[in-house]
A and B are shown apart, each in its own frame.
Chain A
Amino acid sequence: MIDGLAAAADAVLMNPHALLIGLLACGLGIVLGALPGISSTMSLAVLLPFSFVMDVEIAMVFLMGVFYGSVYGGSISAILLNIPGTPGSMVTQLDGYPLARQRRAGDALTYALFASTVGGVLGLVALMMFAPLLAKAALLFQSPESTALMVLGLTMLAYASPGSTYLAVLGGIIGLLLGAVGLDTVTNQSRLDFGIPQLQAGVNLIPVVIGLFGLAEVARNLESPQGSVQGVRDLGRVTVKWRGLWDMRFTALRSSIWGIVVGIIPAAGSAIAVSIAYAQEKRLFQGKEKFGEGNPRGVVAAEGANNSCVGGALVPMMTVGIPGDSMTAVLMGALLIHGLRPGPALFEKNADFVAIVYITLAMAIVFTVIWAALALRLFAKLLGAPQRLLMVAITLLCVVGSYSVQNSYFDVLVMIAAGAVGYLMNKVGMATAPVIFGLVLGPLLEENLRRSLIVYGSWSVFFERPISLALLLLAGANLAFPMVGPWLRRRSA
């Protein structure tokens, strides 16, 4: 492991091109994450096509920079505009914005940076500690266990998605169906192509991701007129109060642990982590400190959990190939396109790449601190940019980005269709993330399911093997709980 890390560090940190790409990607991620109306997933989705022309190491530097940078960037608009840049920053604004209104925006942003860095580092440590162990355990899995694990992952993703679990399950099935379009890997027969030759190669993941997370959000934002958002632009004096930061050390630590734990659970996501971490600090300091009126501890709790979730969410993706949230689903799609299949085999066959993931996450944390230290006032100014420029630039980036994947106009049409469908799905309260999970996991699920049946000859294999049975029972419980839970509560009341 140490040798692998040293080699990865040598390959990435000694490469000026990689360092420059990482620095720029991180800055871009912070800016996009900070702009209201642009989520981290949207940032990652619209910038994804850029990574395909890069070597896989450089692509990872780029994507991790955008990923981590955008998560931190979300706190800037939460504090200065009272609008969370990303779902994970929704709790940051509760104390961050009141601090900014008290002319302490600089303080709030310093606390956010401190907690983000602690969270990011602890998330990275957790990733490095748990991922190899989990991968080793997952190596014992044969195709029946992998099939059951993917079914469990999909049900958890549906369960944890915002809105109705029922609609999220249907969204996941739509994603699985999209993944089944095109040539079957075993018999080479084309399915569900409706005579369209371009569909025989399957539905390309990238235009669907750009459409669902990019164009659909632009369309949603267009429902109401978007002027320049008002908020606090004056950061006040930005000075590091070491004593204040030291007092927050245990809050940062506790909330980071929550972020890691919740991040590891597939699809639980940062929004849940920050809510738990904030509620815990409120309970611990009940009667001693007031929250919601500009308490730095609230900012630290939210941002520690938010950023440690990044490392946590990478654990299930890297070890068992189940994305931890919508961002890691997009990241997983990018890795699949680069020919790398996340899962336990990654640790055996591409150990160097695993080390590169660790190094690139560490780089992203450092670059975020550098950007925040040097350009915080610039980011604050950028928040005042006219929304029209942003809307048009992102829409055009969606079109050109989806075209550039295969130089195909068909992909542009797929992106527009996905955008329209994603917009309508949002309106009926159907989460779009399960569609991407389904599309990413669909081909893997079908492959493992059919391999299990070919090798073991019968469906009973899924119920005879204890791990597979346990995973399927958990999946069943996941689906049943939303139906049985309210009934049980009514009965006990």
Chain B
Amino acid sequence: MPRNGTPLRSELALGIILVMVAAVGVYSIVLDPLLRDDVAPDPGPAFFPLVLLALLGCGGLLQLITVTWRAASARRLLPDPEFQPRLMLVPSLLIGSLLTYAWALPRAGYFASTLAFGIVWLAISDRRAAGQTRSIHRWLLYGLEGLVIALALFVIFRYAIRIPLP
């Protein structure tokens, strides 16, 4: 069962997301005519995912109902302390920069994109840990560290396990 206690907005959001995912999945399967042919007793290719989507949808709906019920009883729906912008800013930046890195990899090549990503994140991490990024010496250090990491990965993948990197 969904948890008890003070209802949180994140719990409500989770219920909504689960119901939406289930609805989109069911929609994509039901609309596909090729998935309709089931030769009894084989229930066909749509059966298993439809059962799972139904379970997911029901689970999401149950979550929605219980959170709404609890919120109505408590007359409040609290923000989740886990979802404070202060906590999520840097992880979100990481995901965003990784998408940029994945976009840049085939265009700028492995070394340029990896070095740029490495230096930026070494600087961010160091600044947050020790508040030091201003001196040219630190930036040179990040460059050197980024180069060593990029080179090490390149050598391992290219020469030890023979995977061609872009």
Contact = CB atoms under 8 A, between A and B. Distances in A.
Nearest to B35: A189
Nearest to A455: B41
B66 to A, nearest CB: 10
Contacts of B153: 393, 396-397, 400
A392 interface: yes
Given A186-B45, A225-B128, A454-B41, A420 B95 contact: yes
A4 interface: no
Nearest to A425: B14
Contacts of A74: none
B161 to A, nearest CB: 4
A392 B149 contact: yes
A173 B63 CA distance: 15
Interface stretch (A174-182, A310-318, A364-372, A462-470): A174-182
B87 A223 contact: yes
Interface string A435-451: 00000000000100110
Nearest to B113: A399
A191 B29 contact: yes
Interface string B24-59: 010011001011010001111111110011011001
Nearest to A393: B149
Secondary structure call for the A interface: helix
B122 A388 contact: yes
Interface string A217-229: 0111011011110
Interface in A41-71: 49-50, 53
Given A393-B149, A395-B98, A416-B102, A191 B90 contact: no
A227 B129 contact: yes
A404 B157 contact: yes
Contacts of B11: 428
A409 B106 contact: yes
A176 B22 CA distance: 13
A79 B125 CA distance: 26
A454 B156 CA distance: 48
Nearest to B8: A428
Contacts of A215: 98
A184 B14 contact: no
A222 B94 contact: yes
Contact of A177 (B42, B49, B125, B165): B49
Given A391-B125, A427-B83, A419 B59 contact: no
A482 B4 CA distance: 13
Contact of A446 (B14, B48, B117, B162): B48
A374 interface: no
A396 B129 contact: no
Contact of B41 (A194, A389, A458): A458
Interface in B112-166: 114, 117-118, 121-122, 125-126, 128-130, 145-146, 149-150, 152-153, 156-157, 161-165
Contacts of B106: 409
Contacts of A449: 48
A450 B46 CA distance: 12
Interface in A396-410: 396-397, 399-400, 403-404, 407, 409
Contacts of A396: 114, 117-118, 149-150, 153
B3 interface: yes
Contacts of A397: 153
Most chain B beta-carbon neighbours within 10 Å: one of A173, A174, A215? A173
Contacts of A189: 32, 34-35, 45
A222 B90 contact: yes
Interface residues of B, number: 68
B129 A191 contact: no
A274 interface: no
B125 A226 contact: yes
A222 B157 CA distance: 26
Question: Which of B14, B18, B130 neighbours the largest number of chain A CB atoms within 10 Å of its CB?
Answer: B14
A100 B162 CA distance: 43
Given A220-B91, A423-B91, A399 B149 contact: no
A389 B161 contact: no
B72 interface: no
A479 to B, nearest CB: 10
A215 B121 CA distance: 14
A413 to B, nearest CB: 6
A328 B129 CA distance: 35
B58 to A, nearest CB: 10
A166 B101 CA distance: 36
Given A413-B102, A427-B82, A428-B10, A222 B43 contact: no
B2 interface: yes
A177 B91 contact: no
Given A169-B59, A170-B56, A176-B52, A192 B94 contact: no
A295 interface: no
A225 B150 CA distance: 23
A53 B1 CA distance: 44
A492 interface: no
A230 interface: no
B105 interface: yes
B108 interface: no
A186 B98 CA distance: 37
B65 interface: no
B99 interface: yes
9 contacts: A180-B49, A189-B35, A191-B35, A223-B88, A388-B126, A392-B146, A395-B94, A409-B106, A428-B10
Q: A-B pairs with the 6 shortest C-beta distances?
A: A388-B125, A184-B45, A219-B91, A225-B128, A227-B129, A404-B163
